[in-house]
Structure 1
Amino acid sequence: MVGARVLVLDAQGQNALAVIRTLGRKGLSVTAGGNKRYLPGMLSKYADSSYVHPDPAADQSAFVEDLTQHLEENNYAAVFCVTDLMTAILSKHKEQLEATGTRIGVEDWETYLLPNDKGRLFELVEDIDVPAPETTAPESLDEIATIDADRSHTVVIKPRRTTYIDADGKSHTNRIAGTNYIGPEEDLFERYSEIIDSNVALQEQLPLVQEYIDGLETVCTVGLADGDGLVAVFQHEKYRVYPPSGGVGSVRKGIHEPKMREYADRIVNALGWVGPVHVEFMRTPANEFYLLEVNGRYWGSTALTVNSGVDIPWLHYQQLVDPEASIRRPDGYRTDVKQRKLFYQDILWLRENLSQGNYWAIAPFITSFATTREETLDPSDPLPALGIIPRSIDVVRSMRSGGSVY
């Protein structure tokens, strides 16, 4: 097992870097893959080699053909990936790719579609006693007027899939912006129409209309599932957020929430999910947890999970190479570790606070250099930091010009 060769794609991502580092430390020979050279993961000392492939966002067919040939020519035990797009592509072509003799670390296509189509996901959880926002999946614009007439609360227009691959193989990314939130006095039909008119992918599969849950914060349960539930689990919260009004966690830490763990177990069990999974909830003032989404892939804070004592990539590797083996459940995990995304969320967090005159933000920002672990910067593995220099220059330029890079 030790010394086997694995391929980790999406080498531009901080979570891919975390996967590369931990698998390399376990003694595996790691190849870092991406659509250009000198990505952070490729520069890690734990990456023995690099694989540069066609950009899957530009030409999915060329990427799949190139990857298939690469797997046929190289003796890999398993392939890992971390982004929505890459997970979707590998899942859709999993049978073809595994015909090379390599285990592909994503779910089968039909199972993958269950949580990644939010309409099907929220229909599924109706029967498993997990709190979830009221969700409507309209089949036509005519239904929107009826929904609007009956509502008295804020709703969210939510795309059914974050990443959508159309019949031509072209990928579309559907993100939620401020315009997707519709207050009780606003015209839902007008806003809904504007949103789908601006996005061809949304016209093919109409977005959901979902009740807005006004809670304290989003919290997550992540882990490794074996088809019957979670065999390894970690939970975390956002300690610092960019934008400060609510967004990506720039500093995160572990938590223990047994009720949220129980809900997550029910969900992954109902899905029959195998592999890494990320389940996001909204925690309310009454300490209830409402399901927001499920992502069948590695999460942004994978490094925090590993550094807190739950090495999901290593457990996932063992699951892939020996599906019949029993995964040893970790005894527990630390909640005193803080993990920081200095590049770029925490820099942007500081920038936004300073722009609003909140100069107190300088103190916790500086203190974090001594009290948190950084996603990319690691004295024992310094070269990946060079891979983020081009993006860092863009951030600095934007800060000077007053532009937005979020």
Structure 2
Amino acid sequence: MASSVGSVLLLAHVRDRGVVTAARALAQAGWRVGVGSPRRDGGLVGASRGVSRVHVVPRPTGDGQAFLAGVRSAQEQGAYDVVVGSGDDWMSALSHYRDALPLPVAHPPRSVVTAAMDKVELARLAERVGVGTPVTQTLTVGQDERLRPPVVVKNRSHWAPGQHRRHRIEALVCETEEQLRAHLASFGGDEDEPVLQEMVHGRLSAVVGVMHEGRLTGRVAQVSPRLWPTPSGASARAVTVPLDLDLAARSEALLRELGWTGLVELQFLLGPDRVPRLIDLNGRFYGSLALGERARPGLVDASLRAAVGLPVPALPDGRVGVRYHWLPGDLRRAVRERRGGLPADVCSSLRWAVGAQHSLLRRDDPGPVLGLLAGRLVTDRGDDLPVSASAPAAPPRAPRSAREPA
């Protein structure tokens, strides 16, 4: 096991796959990892051997006081060096409330995170540095100028101070005017603002890395041949590919313009015209992070080191040809898409699983998968119910033997 580096508190949703990868990577690099979650068991990541302690931290809704009390309580019990949010709401809230917290926050300043999470502002900045984007509109444009279905509808941002929404409004492809009107009606809260985005038909790709001292390091390029939910969900399969140096340079310029620091995934759609169009920026622990860590080990560790002022090791570009699999998502996709027929598509998924880096499955850390199979970590019951910040935390776990892998 690596020598001790420091201690980190990860704020996590119950079913977050990316934060499981982060906890494993940080523990292996020598960090002591604690988790804050709305559930006392911490969900998927709480079952990982990479986690030493779980704390109850309510989600950052309403006036934020319960969330702040939960983080403060976790810090009193765990004495962490830094805190990280694994979802857009956790990350945005930490950046917003950083001056009220008793420990450093491993995210850029509030203004930077707000701009990065704003679909309209991100598109504007991308255009300024020459990064392609789909046409992106708010509903303030005139009827004659407005995009027509099929169109992608997104929430302009996923968190705002004072919001009471329990769940984020996911992007949805609206094929007809009737679907569009019905979906727009779901944007009922004051914190919600629908954005219309041009429908781009193409393959999902991404550029991943750590932005440090104005440079994007540890760069990994990936493409995703299968998604779930289909046709516009997360990577069910992905593979690393040679880096497009021009796109990487433009991505770096965008991140400098934005003022971003730390771990980042920029998602693109590559259409028939071969022009990559930026559709999202993930500054959190994204779903296929296990692929990035396999192709370029040390991404999460470097991001945390930079946040607390520790030396950041050099990070060469990632390896090409590394495969990733989210098996449950891919099997559900196969049931829906049935490419070549259901048996053929299921067999294709099982073949892809062999030799791939999985989102959760690891022989030396079976807890998250066992909990998932048991069904006790994936129920929605109580995930978002108010929980007293003074509720007792889970007891500390016994330290691993130095011979045990993280």
Q: TM-score with structure 2 length normalisation?
A: 0.82
* Alignment-mate amino acid for residue 360 of structure 2: T
Residue 348 (structure 1) aligns with? 332
Aligned-residue Cα RMSD (Å) equals 2.8
* Alignment-mate amino acid for residue 314 of structure 2: R
1:84 matched to 2:82? The reply is: no
CA–CA distance in structure 1, aligned partners of residues 356 and 100 of structure 2: 42
1:255 matched to 2:241? The reply is: yes
The offset of 1:10, in angstroms, is 0.8
CA–CA distance in structure 1, aligned partners of residues 337 and 137 of structure 2: 37
* Alignment-mate amino acid for residue 117 of structure 1: D
Residue 399 (structure 1) aligns with? none
Q: Equivalent residue of 1:125, what SS?
A: helix
Cα distance 1:355–1:393, how it changes in 2: closer, same or farther (>3 A)?
A: farther
Q: Equivalent residue of 1:147, what SS?
A: coil
1:339 matched to 2:343? The reply is: no
CA–CA distance in structure 1, aligned partners of residues 210 and 131 of structure 2: 20
1:15 matched to 2:18? The reply is: yes
Cα distance 1:242–1:147, how it changes in 2: closer, same or farther (>3 A)?
A: same
Residue 315 (structure 2) aligns with? 330
The offset of 1:160, in angstroms, is 1.2
* Aligned residues of 1:242 and 1:346 also touching (Cα < 8 A): yes
The counterpart of 1:319, out of the listed 306, 318, 324, is 306
The counterpart of 2:143, out of the listed 126, 140, 145, is 145
The offset of 1:147, in angstroms, is 1.3
The counterpart of 1:240, out of the listed 215, 223, 226, is 226
* Aligned residues of 2:220 and 2:292 also touching (Cα < 8 A): yes
Structure number with the higher helix fraction is 1
CA–CA distance in structure 2, aligned partners of residues 55 and 311 of structure 1: 28
* Aligned residues of 1:227 and 1:268 also touching (Cα < 8 A): no
* Alignment-mate amino acid for residue 156 of structure 2: R
CA–CA distance in structure 2, aligned partners of residues 209 and 246 of structure 1: 15
1:177 matched to 2:172? The reply is: yes
CA–CA distance in structure 2, aligned partners of residues 156 and 90 of structure 1: 29
Q: Equivalent residue of 1:112, what SS?
A: helix
Cα distance 1:4–1:153, how it changes in 2: closer, same or farther (>3 A)?
A: closer
* Aligned residues of 2:204 and 2:225 also touching (Cα < 8 A): no
Cα distance 1:319–1:285, how it changes in 2: closer, same or farther (>3 A)?
A: same
Residue 136 (structure 1) aligns with? 137
1:292 matched to 2:279? The reply is: yes
The offset of 1:315, in angstroms, is 0.2
Residue 162 (structure 2) aligns with? 167
1:4 matched to 2:6? The reply is: yes
The offset of 1:253, in angstroms, is 1.2
Tell me whether 239-248 or 81-90 shows the greater mean CA deviation: 239-248
* Structure 1 residues 213-269: Cα deviation after superposition (integer angstroms, max 9, x where no partner): 33x311111221136241332121113223454432211111122232122112101
Q: Equivalent residue of 2:222, what SS?
A: strand
Residue 386 (structure 1) aligns with? 370
Cα distance 1:390–1:87, how it changes in 2: closer, same or farther (>3 A)?
A: farther
Residue 358 (structure 1) aligns with? 342
Tell me whether 15-24 or 71-80 shows the greater mean CA deviation: 71-80
Cα distance 1:341–1:391, how it changes in 2: closer, same or farther (>3 A)?
A: farther
CA–CA distance in structure 1, aligned partners of residues 94 and 84 of structure 2: 10
Q: Equivalent residue of 1:32, what SS?
A: strand
Q: Which stretches of structure 1, 4 residues or more, deviate above 6 A after TM superposition?
A: 392-395
CA–CA distance in structure 2, aligned partners of residues 227 and 175 of structure 1: 33
The counterpart of 2:261, out of the listed 253, 274, 278, is 274
How many residues are paired up? 374
* Aligned residues of 2:22 and 2:285 also touching (Cα < 8 A): no
The offset of 1:81, in angstroms, is 2.4
The offset of 1:125, in angstroms, is 2.3
* Aligned residues of 2:267 and 2:279 also touching (Cα < 8 A): yes
The offset of 1:392, in angstroms, is 8.6
The offset of 1:271, in angstroms, is 0.2
* Aligned residues of 1:243 and 1:352 also touching (Cα < 8 A): no
* Structure of greater relative contact order (alpha carbons < 8 Å, 6+ residues apart): 2
Gaps of 5+ in 1: 396-406
Gaps of 5+ in 2: 380-406
* Structure 1 residues 254-306: Cα deviation after superposition (integer angstroms, max 9, x where no partner): 11222321221121011011112221111123322111122222211111111
CA–CA distance in structure 2, aligned partners of residues 224 and 88 of structure 1: 18
